[in-house]
Structure 1
């Protein structure tokens, strides 16, 4: 059973280890922290922490470092998360305020989060399939080139240029545009995808041939947004702040596992926390056993996506949780503002 003072010692060890990147000994703890007890008492507290598997000695006769279990106890017992400073909040707003494109917003959020945490930041792009179709536009660029424009209720715009086999006049284009909008506007892209096969039914001859090519283009546009994607930034920040490359090599290797990373981020339970934390061996994948993942959710396109960071288990959890929470909240607010 670890005493309250023992937990204070654990917090001190974690704080010093995050700051110095060196194992922490009892002498250092007594010199730097005012526990009001002797070095022998602190050594006894450390022995209890080690017996509880909250700290461990990386080398014989060395100081102690936190274990994954120790970090978990620390994170679960955080009494409060300090809000970001006014300067940090202003930096977030100024960096993101001039953008309305959803992908650019997520990219800017990821870069901002990477800068605030000196970690690798990850952002899940919101799926377009949960959006509703606001309008479909067909714009003639030439006799055989058409620009298809898909506009969602969230303001997202997807466009594609297609080459058609037959010449098309403006009258035919208006007829096709009217039919597509009449049939699909107001439906989610998920619903619309199920109706695309019947869109060509009213047409025959040249109109049918053109309609088939346009429907094919719409299918490609929807399918391109069917898979979740991640935006990743901040590897350079992490490389600059870490002196020991061996500590960040697992992070770089984990970045290569984007499909696995996407799944791990998506599976983090946010029900009881604004920011969910998965530490070291709590990650099921072996390639993530030396890394921690922090993630929060943001609301976009009437659905939730994830935003977070990936870094070594030795990280400043208090600061990083505050940063993830703040950027995710701001991103949700910006998305909501752009869709109202």
Structure 2
């Protein structure tokens, strides 16, 4: 019973410190929380929590503040994360629905998340290796050169030049392109490469065999491309008003190391447990510049490792919960997320609010991709 009450005291300290950012004393705690015991008992509990590494006393005779271990205990036991208000959800939908492209959607999502949380927002665009083929057009651009314009299910557009010794007839090229789109639409690029090579073996497509080989090679290159094309960030200026220059220098250095940041947030989103949201606190980030920061991230969309015949919406279910919120439920069975959205802030961030905001923005991005990468398509 004492241990149970002690952890209630810890939760109360974390909640009050997040709100005030001032060391919390036992007297103040008993006034703001109904803990059912005296101030002296709470003081003893706080001393025990300090001995156990959950709290620290920054100054003699001052109150206590949570340690990284204290925040971790608090985050792990967030039983429920309150959904965003109706106004906030409508604001997200309205703001993102005005997007004109995938890039615009992701940039808007970063700005919006930074605005909601008051922290740094990071949104990665999907890697080609996790996308599926939506459509391809092949057009001659020279005597022996073709341009393949590839559109993915996530809305990305990639261009590849295809060199051939002799240019096929226009009609043959057009029919071949139609066949590729019929055979390969909604397939991963690995599968698309295999199917294009299989087409080249059919006598009907003998005249376009060289084009097929070049296109298959381009698809294989896309299948191996694990890089996110861009990382969208927003909110650094807001955080600058809350932190000292000494605190910000290592943080901004960490933000410059985009490869490290992307690996951290991508791994965290794939290991998420808070209803699809992952949290790393301080040293858990394994990034020196983030030792005094926390990272909250969630994956969005879904990779093409499916067993459903290639339907990009088969693993997604929409339903309205009791408060009318449309939840986008992405099942784990269909594969890993195609990219991530996250928030970086101080260890004393409002974890419940940040988790709710990251989760909501990730879900709206998932909807956007399910509609073909362009919000206006749906």
What is aligned with 2:232?
231
Kindly indicate whether residue 154 of structure 2 is the aligned counterpart of residue 120 of structure 1. Answer: no
Residues 1-340 of structure 1: matches in 2 within 5 Å? 3-99=3-99, 101-139=101-139, 148-152=148-152, 154=153, 156=155, 158=157, 160=159, 172-183=169-180, 185-186=183-184, 187-192=187-192, 218=218, 222=222, 226-229=226-229, 230-240=231-241, 242-268=242-268, 269-270=271-272, 273-300=275-302, 302=304, 304=337, 305-338=339-372
CA distance in 2, matches of 1:130, 1:292: 27
Could you say if the C-alpha distance between residues 20 and 193 of structure 1 is closer, same or farther in structure 2, counting changes exceeding 3 Å? same
The 8 Å contact of residues 138 and 177 in structure 2, kept in 1 or not, is answered as no
RMSD between superposed Cα atoms in Å: 3.7
SS of the equivalent of 1:307 reads strand
Aligned length: 332
2: CA distance between counterparts of 1:177 and 1:237? 52
Deviation at 1:53, TM superposition (A): 0.7
**Distance in 1 between residues matched to 2:162 and 2:264, nearest whole Å:** 41
1:246 and 1:194 mapped to 2: Cα distance? 54
* Stretch moving more, 230-239 or 64-73: 230-239
CA distance in 1, matches of 2:285, 2:226: 26
Shift of 1:321: 1.0
Instruction: State TM-score, norm by structure 2.
Output: 0.72
Give 1:96 deviation, angstroms.
0.8
Secondary structure at the aligned position of 1:297 is classed as strand
Name which of structure 1's ranges 320-329 and 288-297 shifts more when overlaid on structure 2: 288-297
Deviation at 1:15, TM superposition (A): 2.3
- Structure 2 Cα separation of the partners of residues 35 and 224 of structure 1: 56
Q: Is the 8 A contact 1:2 1:52 kept in 2?
A: no
CA distance in 2, matches of 1:247, 1:36: 39
Contact 2:189 2:219 in 1 (8 A): no
Instruction: Structure 1: state its 5+ residue gaps.
Output: none
**What is the CA-CA distance between 1:159 and the residue it aligns to?**
5.1
Unaligned runs of 5+ in 2: 305-334
Query: Structure 1 residue 308: deviation in Å?
Result: 1.6
Q: TM-score, normalised by structure 1?
A: 0.79
Distance 1:271 1:28 in 2: 33
